[in-house]
């Protein structure tokens, strides 16, 4: 049986929700599903570049 | 970088019965959060285990984070003996889940899926509402931000 997926607001989640950037969500919802994944892969590349820069800095300092 | 297209294509083209869950499902629904792996709930029938093994065999699956050289065999009997497998492959990390906390098995989840075409292949993806319900039920503190974003997506969709 499918569980009831309607839920009451949870005060903890509501508190976290205040910090959600809805402009990013609205932009994402305009994209196709493929483009959402392409954007995720770009974000992964960026995160990896930042990690590599951090490693390099640790190595040379 | 995770080859989401390659992983989903490998599973779908082999006819694996699976449901996209977790961060990748959230991405499909519009999440802007970074996720590094593909989480799927797979159906644990003998036929599907065979398809799953065939689908990833060429991509050298191995236990993620485990030391090299363990006697890990990518085979149906390995899948039969376990349930959830956290793997690294040549295409990127993938978690193969026989069931998920707060959600259950493939059979329990499949009623709440949407068929999405992703990179040219049809993939069953857990619905946004069920994804929220599962993450809420799992009750992991690290999921709170993700749940908040998913609920915000649901609200934005209704606007």
DSSP character string of A2-37: ------PPPHHHHHHHTT--HHHHHHHHHS-HHHHH
Shortest Cα distance, chain B CAs vs residue A49, angstroms: 11
Q: Between vectors from CA B44 to CA B120 and to CA B143, what angle results, nearest 5°?
A: 70
Q: Does residue B123 carry a pLDDT above 70?
A: yes
Q: Are the C-beta atoms of residues B40 and B95 closer than 8 Å to each other?
A: yes
CA distances from A2 to A55, B133, B141 (A): 47, 11, 25
Q: Tell me whether residue A18 is exposed, middle or buried, using C-beta atoms within 10 angstroms of its C-beta: 0 to 12, 13 to 18, 19 or more.
A: exposed
Q: What percentage of chain A exceeds 70 in pLDDT?
A: 90
How much is the pLDDT for A2? 53
Which residue's entry shows tokens 């069920």? B130
Q: Are the C-beta atoms of residues B153 and B146 closer than 8 Å to each other?
A: no
Segment holding A57, helix H or strand E: helix A33-60
B86: which strand partners?
Answer: B95
How much is the pLDDT for A5? 53
How much is the pLDDT for A61? 79
Per residue in A3-49, pLDDT (tens digit) is: 555 678 889 999 999 999 999 999 999 999 999 999 999 999 999 99
Across the interface, whether the CB atoms of B148 and A21 are under 8 A apart is answered no
Q: Are the C-beta atoms of residues A39 and A28 closer than 8 Å to each other?
A: yes
How much is the pLDDT for A35? 97
Nearest to B28 among A2, A36, A48 (CB): A36
- Exposure class string for A20-54: b at 16+ Cβ within 10 A, else e: beeeebeebeeeebbebbeebbebbeeeeeeeeee
Average pLDDT over residues B122-130: 97
Higher pLDDT, B107 or A57: B107
Pairwise CA distance, residues B7 & B20, whole Å:
11
Nearest to B27 among A2, A13, A40 (CB): A40
Partner A contacted by B25 (CB < 8 A): no
Across the interface, whether the CB atoms of B132 and A5 are under 8 A apart is answered yes
Partner B contacted by A20 (CB < 8 A): yes
How much is the pLDDT for A6? 62
Average pLDDT over residues B81-89: 97
How much is the pLDDT for B84? 97
Q: Which of residues 36-75 of B touch A (CB under 8 A)?
A: 36
pTM of the model: 0.92
Pairwise CA distance, residues B92 & B8, whole Å:
11
Among the ranges given (B1-5, B56-60, B61-65, B88-92), the one the predictor scored with the smallest mean pLDDT: B1-5
Across the interface, whether the CB atoms of A16 and B148 are under 8 A apart is answered yes
Shortest Cα distance, chain B CAs vs residue A59, angstroms: 23
Question: ipTM of this predicted complex?
Answer: 0.90
């Amino acid at each position: 049986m499918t569980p009831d997926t309607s839920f009451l607001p949870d005060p903890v989640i509501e508190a976290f929700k205040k910090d959600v950037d809805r402009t990013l969500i609205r932009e994402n919802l305009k994209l196709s599903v493929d483009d959402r994944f392409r954007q995720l892969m770009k974000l992964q590349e960026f995160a990896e570049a930042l990690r590599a820069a951090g490693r390099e800095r640790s190595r040379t300092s | 970088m995770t080859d989401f297209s390659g992983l989903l294509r490998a599973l779908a083209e082999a006819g694996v019965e699976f449901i996209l869950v977790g961060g990748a499902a959230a991405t499909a629904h519009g999440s802007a959060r970074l996720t590094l792996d593909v989480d799927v709930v797979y159906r644990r029938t003998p036929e599907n285990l065979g398809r799953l093994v065939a689908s990833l065999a060429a991509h050298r699956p191995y236990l993620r984070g485990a030391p090299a050289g363990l006697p890990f065999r990518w085979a149906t009997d390995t899948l039969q003996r376990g349930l959830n497998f956290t793997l690294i492959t040549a295409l990127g990390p993938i978690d193969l889940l026989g069931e998920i906390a707060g959600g259950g098995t493939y059979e329990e989840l499949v009623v709440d899926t949407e068929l999405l075409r992703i990179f040219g292949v049809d993939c069953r993806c857990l619905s946004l509402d069920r994804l929220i319900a599962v993450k809420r039920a799992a009750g992991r503190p690290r999921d709170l931000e993700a749940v908040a974003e998913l609920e915000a997506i649901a609200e934005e969709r209704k606007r």
